[in-house]
Amino acid sequence: MTIVISRMIPLVAAAIMICAPADARDDGRYANSPLKGWFESLHSKAGGPCCADADGTALDDLDWDTRDGHYRVRLQGEWIEVPDDAVITEPNRAGRTIVWPYYVNGRAMIRCFMPGSMT
C-alpha cells in the first residue's frame, strides 16, 4: 500500500501543476467580457483546458511565427516550439495571438496556443 501511494504522489503533483494556471491574472476585470465563456471552453488537442483569457499572454506578430511547419513563440527572449497538440484550431474570436504558458523549473512550456492574423 505504501509503495502504491509513493508512486502516485509524483503523478498527483504533476496533474496539479498542469491544471493550475501558471500566472493567473483574473481579478474580476474580465467577468463581463462577451468572450469569457468561449475562452473558458478552449481545450488543446491533448484535452487540457487552456483556462481563461486572463491566464493567456497576447503576443505581438514579431513574437510568433512558423518554422518547418510548426508554430513557435518568443517568451522571455527565448524561441519555444509550440507542440502540435497545444494548437487551438477553431476560429480565433479574439483576433489576437494568445499563448498559455506554464513553467517547470523556470522553463516555459506551452499549454495552449491560438494563432492570430499575423497582419
The answer to whether the Cα torsion of 44, 46, 49, 55 is positive or negative is negative
List, in order of start, the domains of the chain with CATH numbers. 2-114 (2.40.50.180)
106 SS3 class: coil
pLDDT value at residue 20: 40
For residues 103-115, average pLDDT: 91
pLDDT digits (tens, 9 = 90+) for 13-67: 443 343 444 344 445 555 677 888 888 888 888 777 887 656 788 999 999 999 9
100: nearest Cα among 55, 45, 33: 55
Q: Is the pTM of this model over 0.75?
A: no
Decide: 100 and 53 in contact? Cβ < 8 Å: no
Decide: 68 and 89 in contact? Cβ < 8 Å: no
User: 81: which residues sit within 8 A by CB, 6+ positions away?
Assistant: 67, 70, 71, 72
pLDDT value at residue 1: 52
